[in-house]
Each structure stands twice: as C-alpha cells, then as structure tokens.
Chains A and B, each alone.
Chain A
Amino acid sequence: MPGVEGFMYPNEIELQWSVLIVLYPFLTGLVAGAFILASLERVFRVQAVKPTYRLALLTALSFLLVAPLPLQLHLGHPERSYEMYLTPHTSSAMAMFGFVYLWYLMAVLVLEIWLDYRRDIVVMSQSATGWKRWVYRAMTLGSSNISERALAIDERAGYLITVIGIPSAFLLHGYVGFIFGSIKANPWWSTPLMPVVFLFSAMVSGIATVMLLYMLMTWVRGHTLDMACVDTVARYLFYTFIIDFSLEMLDLIHRIYESDESFRSLDFMVHTKLYLSHIVVQIVLGTVAPIALLALTQVLELTEMDRKRIYVLAGCLTLIGIFAMRWNVVIGGQLFSKSFLGYTTYKMGMATREGLLMAMVLTVLPFVILGVLVKLLPPWPEQDSSLLHGTTPAH
C-alpha cells in the first residue's frame, strides 16, 4: 500500500484529524496566552506590561472568533454541531467545547473588553458619524452613564471578571489537552501531562504573539517602543518557556525510561517520520534556540537595538515551534499504528476543505479581524486615537 510501512489496521491508514485540528489548539492557545498576559497587569499588578493590555484582549478576541471555524470545516456534518448544545454527553471532553467557548467568549472576554472600553464606547457613540455611530450606540446597551462612580464599578467588575477569566482561560485550552490526554487507545497522547503541556505552550505562544504585535504596531504607528514593557513581557516569555520545556523533557525522559510496549514504535517514528518537525523545528529551532536567545538578554547587558532584534527573532521562532508542537501531537499521534507494527503518511490536501490553503486562510483571518477591531476599539492612549475626537484616523 502506498504510504504505508509495516502493518496498520485497515481502518487506520487514512488520518482522521487534519491540519485544521492542528490549527485549532494553536488558535485557542493564543487566546489563552494573550489573556494570561492581559491578566498580569489587571490582577497581578505588573504595571510594566500595561501598554499591551488592550491589545492583548483584542488579540484574544480575534483568535477566539476564528477558533470554531477549523472545527466546523472538519466536521462531517457541521449543520448538526448545535447538537453539542442540546444533548452534550457529559462524559466527553469534546462536549464541553460549546459551553466553555460560549462562557469564555461572552462572560469573560467580551464582558472584560466591554467594561474596559465602555467609557470610550459611550464617547464615540456621541462623536462618531455614519454607520459607526450605530455600532457604538448598540454597544452601549442604551446606557450612557460614565460617571466616576459607574467607572469605578466597571473597574471592580473588570477585576473580578479577570480573576474568573484566568481559570476560564485554563479551561478553554486545558480541555483541548485533555481531549488528547484522556485517550487510552493512543499512547502518544495518553498522559496526564498533556493538558499542562498544552497550557504552558499556549501561554508561551500567546505572550510571544502579543509581544510581536505590540512591537510591530508601535513601529507602524511611528511611535517609540516602551522598552520597560517589552523587556518585562520577554522576561515572562522566558520564564514560561523554561517551565514548558521542562514539562516536555519530563514527558520524554519518562517515556524513554519506562520504555513500555509503545516506546519502540514511537521512538522510531520520532527519528524518521517526525525528525524534521519534532527534533529540528520543535525542539532545536522552536524551543532551545528561543530560550537561549532570551537567556542572553537576561544574562548580558545588551543594547536596546540588540534586544529588540533578539525579541523579534525569538518570538517568531517560538510561534513556529509551538505550531510544530501541535503538529507533532495531532499528526504524529495518527502516523503510527495502534498495533505498533507500522506507519502511514499524512496526505495533506491543497485546495480542499481541510487542506493547506484553508489552514493558511484561517491563520490570516484573525489578523484581519484584529485590524477591524483595532480601528473600532483603538487600544492606544487617547492622544493617538482621532476617533475619540470625531475625525478620521490617519495611519
């Protein structure tokens, strides 16, 4: 059989979950990570990262809005997906998706964004023109109260939402790790570490994304970068990465040491079919290199220019590495036979419903949405946002 080496159960030859299912945890990971970064300021009072607060929230929202799309495109019957809301099977981690998603979207993210932006929304509902005026007016829910007392209540409520939001973000992405980690049939996936590894790699990718976006947008706007902010964000990225790397190494060492019935087959797979994506891209380029680069910035006294360059490089490598990690988990878990006697090949389509082109579109889409959100709800301080003064913005 073409593409098959050794023996596979006949129904195992074709992969079930495609690159879209690789993309989904990547996207929700970015959501969780960006939100955790935002919560650093709101709950843990890390003032230095304040400039990224609103951007992190909008980034999280952009990715969250796109997140269900790869799932819908992958389903055999997307028109039946509402069944997860009607009759969720409580023993299934996947059944949680509908409710956790809705909770996180409405009760956490949208609510927090609304509360933080409410003053600006009310102002803009009075100063904006054309269709935008109606959008803002709808967002006010008919209330134009921006007295000090009201804003203080918003501040308090926002704090509480963020506090609830942190475990909610953990749940939003952690359950995806549990979806894989709870499958006893698949030894590549089945480990209690899976949700934790997913979470920490999510935080790493989210922090890296917000850091890169902040640096990029500041540069595009022609402003000076708040180095104290970026240095702090990079430091958190570094710490989180160390934890993430330790967890992945723990899993690896444990597997090698115990060497159970699946080990020989998985080991062979990592050294052959997954060599490029796992050893080269995920571990060397995507984890060791960024950690080393970030370590340099912590240990050495480098100039601002050097640090910026390192942050950009480390950030980009990080994102590639975390995507590779999702790929290795999802695709890797389907490349070997459950008989441990063979391997198959992933034949990724190009312009098909679950193909590469679709994955690329879905990766770009959140940035397009972010562009719209940034125009509608400017994350930057007032003097920069001309919308607040009723004129069209100049970018």
Chain B
Amino acid sequence: MNVFKDAGHLFRLAAVFLVGTLAFLGMRVFLVPKSFGQYGHYRGDAMAEIAARPVNFAGHQACEGCHADVLEKKKGGRHARVNCEACHGPLAKHADDPSVQPVKLDTAVLCVGCHEENAAKPKSFPQVASADHSTGLACDTCHQPHSPAITAGGAK
C-alpha cells in the first residue's frame, strides 16, 4: 500500500485527466451537428441548404413557355441555340411575375461583346471590327437579333 501513498499525487492527476476527457466526450454529444456523418465526413443538411438558394436566371424553357413566337423566329437562324437570358440578362423575377419589366437592351453596346473582332476568337465565328462595319449605327438597324441574317428583302 506504500506505493499508493507515495504515488497519490499521480493518481490525483490521472483523475483530473479522466474527468476532463469524460467531460469532453459528454459535451461532444451535444455539440456535433445532428446530420454530421449522414453521407460522409460532413453535415448532411449542408446540401439541402445549398440547394435551397433562389435562382436568378429562369432558364430558356421558362421563357419559351410564354414567348413561343420568339422561339419560332429564332428557329433556323444563327441565334437558334443562343439562350434568351444570354442577351436579356437574368429574368427569374420576370418569369415569376410578368409585370416585372425586363431591362431594355441597347444593341449598340450588347452585340460587340460577342461579335467584336478578336484574334483569339475561332476563325469560323462571325466577327467584325465594329467601327468599320457599322460606322456608329446600332446593330439592330440592319440585323434582327432573334434571327440576325440579312435576307434579300432587308432585316425586318
């Protein structure tokens, strides 16, 4: 029994460590988020939280639901595969409430974003040096944006 008497302080220390460890393990039960580990080493609820974000762009199917006439005009033209919001901007609010007016576009500044001549653009892509090509006129003076090819009878 002598050894216990002389090592008493070590046992006290061990007791302190043990209490600390148990306290930590106990707290852990309350502090770790409930959905943690559901699918892997992360909070399972996080995915639903991320997926719950509202959208800004409606997606072209939403537009085509109401604007089928525009879809018809685009068919067969060079902009057939260009989605509506690529030019018109985010329109989820408008799709939700059609009385919300979309921003009016200005073709004088919009079209050059894609069609301004640049050496790095694919050679087959239609591009012009706008200063020479349109001499200051807005693009929709001659081109109909939804079907931009200029036919023999004029654009519109």
Contacts and interface: CB of A to CB of B under 8 A. Distances in A.
Interface stretch (A128-136, A143-151, A165-173, A271-279): A143-151
Contact of B9 (A85, A87, A145): A145
A153 B3 CA distance: 9
B32 interface: yes
A107 B17 CA distance: 9
A87 B5 contact: no
A351 interface: no
10 contacts: A87-B36, A141-B9, A142-B12, A145-B5, A145-B8, A145-B9, A150-B7, A150-B8, A150-B9, A153-B6
Contact of A143 (B2, B12, B28, B36): B12
Contact of A106 (B6, B8, B17, B28): B17
A106 B5 CA distance: 24
A111 interface: yes
Interface residues of A, number: 20
Contacts of A86: 28, 31-32
A106 B16 CA distance: 11
Contacts of B5: 145
Contacts of B41: 87, 89
Contact of A141 (B12, B24, B31, B32): B12
Interface in A85-113: 85-87, 89, 106-107, 111
A201 B3 CA distance: 43
B9 A118 contact: yes
B31 A82 contact: yes
Chain B interface, >50% SS class: helix
A101 to B, nearest CB: 14
Question: B interface, how many residues as a size bin?
Answer: 10 to 19
Nearest to A142: B12
Given A143-B9, A150-B9, A153-B3, 20 more contacts: A85-B24, A86-B28, A87-B41, A106-B17, A111-B13, A114-B13, A118-B9, A140-B9, A141-B9, A141-B12, A142-B12, A145-B5, A145-B6, A145-B9, A149-B2, A149-B6, A150-B6, A150-B7, A150-B8, A153-B7
Chain A interface, >50% SS class: helix
B40 to A, nearest CB: 10
B44 to A, nearest CB: 12
Interface string B6-50: 111110110011000000100010011000100001000000000
A157 interface: yes
Nearest to B32: A86
Shortest 10 CB-CB distances between A and B: which pairs? A143-B9, A149-B6, A150-B6, A141-B12, A86-B32, A153-B7, A143-B8, A86-B31, A89-B41, A153-B6
A195 B31 CA distance: 33
Contacts of A157: 10
A86 B25 CA distance: 9
Nearest to B2: A149
Interface in A51-98: 82, 85-87, 89
A141 B15 CA distance: 10
A111 B36 CA distance: 35
Contacts of B17: 106-107
Contacts of B32: 86-87
A383 to B, nearest CB: 26
A145 B7 CA distance: 9
A143 to B, nearest CB: 4
Nearest to A146: B9
